[in-house]
Structure 1
Amino acid sequence: MAHSFDELVELQRAADQAYNRVEELRDGYGAPTASIWTGEQTEKNCRRLQCLNQMCERAAA
């Protein structure tokens, strides 16, 4: 799978955004093993992870 330089830059930016979002979530909720999440936290984080996955898929397409 060959990518142009611009495509690679876009993929790296998407990966950086996803990584930064994970860090924000970790800062806000703590590490996953630090405490047990409530049902609401689990639901919110599942939705956020789905959104991040979609962003990465769009960037890779």
Structure 2
Amino acid sequence: MTTLLYRGHQYQQKNATESRPGVQLVYRRNVYQSRQINSHRTPVQLVYRGVGYTR
């Protein structure tokens, strides 16, 4: 194992990064767009420093 140095203190790294398999992320355009279209946002009335607005 490699000895690491942090703020003047040496330590051994306890978890190895090679032991975990990599994860491949996938962007599914149609799924994302359909969820955006189907999301039902209800307007929310908010007040900040006495001024009301809708989000």
Q: Which has the higher contact order (CA 8 A, sep 6+)?
A: 1
More helix by share: 1
Whose Rg is larger?
A: 2
> TM-score normalized by structure 2?
0.29
TM-score normalised over the length of structure 1: 0.27
